[in-house]
A and B are shown apart, each in its own frame.
Chain A
């Protein structure tokens, strides 16, 4: 039985990826790993955008366009994020998020 890949498949994949990314963001201790997980979540969204665009409005490229934007912004975000992590590391000699709890009373 030949099954064609439907929109649902894409969305399930996207949801899984997003869930994995979210889990990583909430659970990982390593700041770099958290950044990577954020990338995962962003790309899950990208898959969604492109898939929905492809299946629902095939003549328009809105979703693809958005995906490009997201990739661009993600690149910038990673740049800033890594810079912050490096700055913190220089002060604290650690990338463990558990050590970064000084933003409290």
Chain B
């Protein structure tokens, strides 16, 4: 069975894809059947990937040499593109994680989407999404990966705009798609350059060739390629400055937020950088860029999250911030820590998104956390699982987030990036603060008498419990004392950081301080007077943060003045130069000539005959008065 799964790993993306086709063409009129087909597809994928992952993680040789099998997709001179499967610990972990989280989210969605007119359509979209994401994870080839990458983008567009009757949802879908397209352009340029310079996009071949890149190209070009490739992840993973789409993407149904914007799609960028680590590893400059982007985004998004009011928006900025952590870890050279955080983050962030969905479900989509309160009494399962998620993300041991975040802090410190370390540590404090602000405001304190919450049905709470368990224990695979994780997931050589107790204690203290501060401001203080007073006192900062540093407004301004202005300029150029001078001018000139020449067309035969005669005369004169050579030329060689 294990053997079968490993050599048929292409089933992993195929099963959800088949579910998508089945729903679209067959079962669409029957919502429940569609949901079952979708769940069957993803659970099937989970089973196959679980066996495949088991196979990979019991054979240490796969850390050295991945299992690759492929078929020829197309070939032309100088370019052979295969489509295939590459199984190594990284991809095995990824498909296992994605299919597991996706399975739970699919099951949850049955409850959450109940009664929605687009129920079947929803499940067809998420199936296609899961298929694309699994294909992305398992690809042996960067072009194949790029196709999956774009498919993921398409699905996110469809799913964010799922409530297409809402203008805001449509706008958000467009925003997500366009922002990602901008970034994908950079990625595409990077991939094309790789293909042109190295003649292959196969991951294994490429890693061998880039190790000796001097034979093919210069260091500068390689740096440029790495930066171009990194632009793709900046967009897809919501890094500054292309993070703007991610918070707006919360317009989609909540399971989508959990699936796309927590566990899978947004970490695709991290995964891509991890997959092309052989490229980034060669160019320290690009690595620095990754680290700085990640570290800055982590802090930047965390500060925004502190002031937001909508429950899903807070979670969205939290996601941006956490992915910043992953990028930071990649940038300082630790794929181990980065992917470890991706693994734990998938559990607790999916858990919190689904919990938020459960809350929204109960409160009929009232999203402002200030209008909630005391929900834990009416919704104990949602509440307590959310608390576990909050402990995990804040970094309280032994929950999952602690181990991964601690590892990131430790590797950042080890690599000597002290500024980034301080930023990351402060972000950890902010993370604990804003997440517990959300929890205290939502689940504790006084109940809002307007709300009549009720616990969600078991089909929704069971996935919550499953994810809560994973959030609690998922980090134990990578503790400093039992470093299972770093033995398998690494780049180059397995690197295991010695447990750094100072960092560990420091991060616990920061997390506890954040939680305590949130408790003081939002829970112990029943009227929240102090929190409001603080916001009042630092009104400027509060307004800037609440408006997300006006990034959206800056982009809007840029669009309206620079882009539109340039467009208007080009419009005038088009109207007056291209259309006016070139097109109409040529036409007018032709008309003018015609007007002039029509006078010669008298219609009188004798005029024509006269011209004819004069022509003959001219030829004769020419022949008579020029030398025999030209005469013979004209008539063709008379001797």
Contact B605 A100 (CB under 8 A): yes
Q: Which of the candidate stretches B110-118, B322-330, B595-603 sits at the interface with the other chain? A: B595-603
Instruction: Quote the shortest CB–CB distance from B631 to chain A (angstroms).
Output: 20
Which single member of A97, A102, A103, A105 contacts B606 (CB below 8 Å)? Answer: A97
Chain A CB within 8 A of B609 CB: yes
Closest to A27 in B: B606
Bound form: Cα–Cα A1–B501 in Å: 146
Closest to A28 in B: B606
Contact B601 A26 (CB under 8 A): no
Chain A CB within 8 A of B540 CB: no
Bound form: Cα–Cα A105–B599 in Å: 9
Contact A101 B604 (CB under 8 A): yes
Contact B609 A26 (CB under 8 A): yes
Which single member of A22, A27, A98, A105 contacts B604 (CB below 8 Å)? Answer: A98
Closest to B606 in A: A26
A interface footprint on B606-639 (CB within 8 Å = 1, 0 otherwise): 1001100100000000000000000000000000
Chain B CB within 8 A of A42 CB: no
B610 / chain A contacts, CB cutoff of 8 Å: 26
Instruction: Quote the shortest CB–CB distance from B481 to chain A (angstroms).
Output: 100
A101 / chain B contacts, CB cutoff of 8 Å: 602-604
Contact B602 A104 (CB under 8 A): yes
B interface bracket (residues with beta carbon within 8 Å of A): 10 to 19
Contact A97 B605 (CB under 8 A): yes
Bound form: Cα–Cα A105–B610 in Å: 20
Chain B CB within 8 A of A67 CB: no
A25 / chain B contacts, CB cutoff of 8 Å: 606, 609
Q: Which residues 422-448 in B have Cβ within 8 Å of A in the complex?
A: none
Contacts A105-B598, A105-B601: A22 and B613 contacting too (C-beta < 8 A)? Answer: yes
Contact A102 B604 (CB under 8 A): no
B interface footprint on A81-105 (CB within 8 Å = 1, 0 otherwise): 0000000000000000110111111
Bound form: Cα–Cα A102–B598 in Å: 14
Total of A-B residue pairs, C-beta within 8 Å: 26
Which single member of B598, B603, B609, B613 contacts A103 (CB below 8 Å)? Answer: B603
Bound form: Cα–Cα A26–B601 in Å: 16
Q: Which residues 5-19 in A have Cβ within 8 Å of B in the complex?
A: none
Bound form: Cα–Cα A79–B633 in Å: 39
Closest to A104 in B: B603
Which single member of B601, B606, B613 contacts A104 (CB below 8 Å)? Answer: B601
Closest to A102 in B: B603
Contact A26 B604 (CB under 8 A): no
A98 / chain B contacts, CB cutoff of 8 Å: 604
A104 / chain B contacts, CB cutoff of 8 Å: 601-603
Instruction: Quote the shortest CB–CB distance from B599 to chain A (angstroms).
Output: 10
B606 / chain A contacts, CB cutoff of 8 Å: 25-27, 34, 97
Instruction: Quote the shortest CB–CB distance from A104 to chain B (angstroms).
Output: 3
Most buried by B among A22, A97, A98, A103: A103
Instruction: Quote the shortest CB–CB distance from B592 to chain A (angstroms).
Output: 15
Closest to A31 in B: B605
A105 / chain B contacts, CB cutoff of 8 Å: 598, 601
B598 / chain A contacts, CB cutoff of 8 Å: 105
Contact B604 A97 (CB under 8 A): yes
Instruction: Quote the shortest CB–CB distance from B438 to chain A (angstroms).
Output: 83
A102 / chain B contacts, CB cutoff of 8 Å: 603
Bound form: Cα–Cα A98–B606 in Å: 9
B603 / chain A contacts, CB cutoff of 8 Å: 100-104
Bound form: Cα–Cα A101–B603 in Å: 4
Instruction: Quote the shortest CB–CB distance from B561 to chain A (angstroms).
Output: 54
Bound form: Cα–Cα A27–B607 in Å: 9
Instruction: Quote the shortest CB–CB distance from A75 to chain B (angstroms).
Output: 21
B601 / chain A contacts, CB cutoff of 8 Å: 104-105
A interface footprint on B360-390 (CB within 8 Å = 1, 0 otherwise): 0000000000000000000000000000000
A27 / chain B contacts, CB cutoff of 8 Å: 606
Closest to A100 in B: B605
Closest to A22 in B: B613
Bound form: Cα–Cα A103–B602 in Å: 8
A100 / chain B contacts, CB cutoff of 8 Å: 603-605
Q: Which residues 22-73 in B have Cβ within 8 Å of A in the complex?
A: none
Bound form: Cα–Cα A62–B605 in Å: 33
Bound form: Cα–Cα A101–B610 in Å: 15
Instruction: Quote the shortest CB–CB distance from B615 to chain A (angstroms).
Output: 13
B604 / chain A contacts, CB cutoff of 8 Å: 97-98, 100-101
Most buried by A among B603, B604, B606, B609: B606
Instruction: Quote the shortest CB–CB distance from B526 to chain A (angstroms).
Output: 96
Bound form: Cα–Cα A84–B610 in Å: 21
Bound form: Cα–Cα A92–B605 in Å: 16
Closest to B605 in A: A97
Bound form: Cα–Cα A22–B601 in Å: 21
Bound form: Cα–Cα A22–B616 in Å: 13
Bound form: Cα–Cα A99–B603 in Å: 10
Instruction: Quote the shortest CB–CB distance from B606 to chain A (angstroms).
Output: 5
Bound form: Cα–Cα A100–B601 in Å: 13
Bound form: Cα–Cα A101–B606 in Å: 10
Instruction: Quote the shortest CB–CB distance from A22 to chain B (angstroms).
Output: 7
Instruction: Quote the shortest CB–CB distance from B555 to chain A (angstroms).
Output: 60
Bound form: Cα–Cα A25–B613 in Å: 11
Bound form: Cα–Cα A27–B603 in Å: 15
Bound form: Cα–Cα A26–B613 in Å: 9
Closest to A29 in B: B606
Instruction: Quote the shortest CB–CB distance from B275 to chain A (angstroms).
Output: 73
Bound form: Cα–Cα A97–B609 in Å: 13
Bound form: Cα–Cα A16–B386 in Å: 119
A103 / chain B contacts, CB cutoff of 8 Å: 603
B613 / chain A contacts, CB cutoff of 8 Å: 22, 26
Bound form: Cα–Cα A34–B602 in Å: 18
Instruction: Quote the shortest CB–CB distance from A96 to chain B (angstroms).
Output: 11
Q: Could you list 6 A-B pairs, sorted by A, with CB under 8 Å?
A: A97-B606, A100-B603, A101-B602, A101-B603, A104-B603, A105-B598
Apart from A26-B609, A100-B604, A105-B598: 10 A-B pairs, beta carbons within 8 A: A22-B613, A25-B606, A25-B609, A26-B606, A97-B605, A101-B603, A101-B604, A103-B603, A104-B601, A104-B602
The 8 lowest CB-CB distance pairs between A and B, nearest first, are A104-B603, A101-B603, A103-B603, A101-B604, A104-B601, A105-B598, A26-B610, A26-B606
**Could you tell me which A residues sit within 8 Å of B by CB distance?**
22, 25-27, 34, 97-98, 100-105
